[in-house]
Amino acid sequence: MNDLTRRPGTMPLSVLLRDAAQHLRQVQPPAALRDRLAAHWDASAAPRRRRWRAPLAWSGAAACALALLLSLLLLTLPATPLPQTLAVPSASGFVPLVGPERWRQLTADAATPAWLVATELPRERLATIGLPFDPARAAEPVRAELLMHASGDVIALRLLGE
């Protein structure tokens, strides 16, 4: 007769505990628990996806709105060429799109921010700012950077890759 088959009151505590420990090790969580957690995971996954989707959607909407605004600004650029003096690029390559007086006003306040916005514009638009362009490639877009003042004015333009 081994220890575990002796009457309970005569068994050493350590033997009883070892037996109970071995017994407990064989216990497994019910399968239903895993199913519950899986259901919880699936249910919480949707809001989690939505949580990430919302900021992305707002960022996308903001980018679209900015692109639309820039397109409108480009379309409203003066149809007549600007004075030749304006089409002289600065050292940074920017061509002012406003008159000298307005330029001075806008750039006088160094604290007012301006943004650099990458865009593409029809090549034929180069003529409107006094820059030469090849009519044979008029349909091709040209990459450019716009300097946009905090007031909303596009004050300068720089062509890229030309």
Contact footprint for another protein (CB under 8 A): 4-14, 16-30, 32-34, 36-38, 40-42, 44-45, 48-49
- CB-nearer residue toward another protein: 35 or 162: 35
Could you give the CA distance from residue 39 to residue 136 in angstroms, rounded to a whole number? 63
Beta-sheet strands, E only, within 18-150: 95-96, 114-122, 141-149
Q: Report the nearest approach of another protein to the CB of residue 22 (Å).
A: 8
User: Looking at residue 161, what DSSP letter applies?
Assistant: -
Least distance in angstroms from the C-beta of 61 to another protein: 24
Q: 144 and 157 in contact (C-beta within 8 Å)?
A: yes
The nearer residue to another protein, 9 or 113, going by C-beta atoms, is 9
Residue 117 makes CB contacts below 8 A (sequence gap 6+) with 66, 70, 145, 146, 148
Quote the CA–CA distance of 98 and 17 in Å, as a whole number: 90
Q: How far is the CB of 56 from another protein (least distance, A)?
A: 15
Least separation in angstroms between CB 55 and another protein: 15
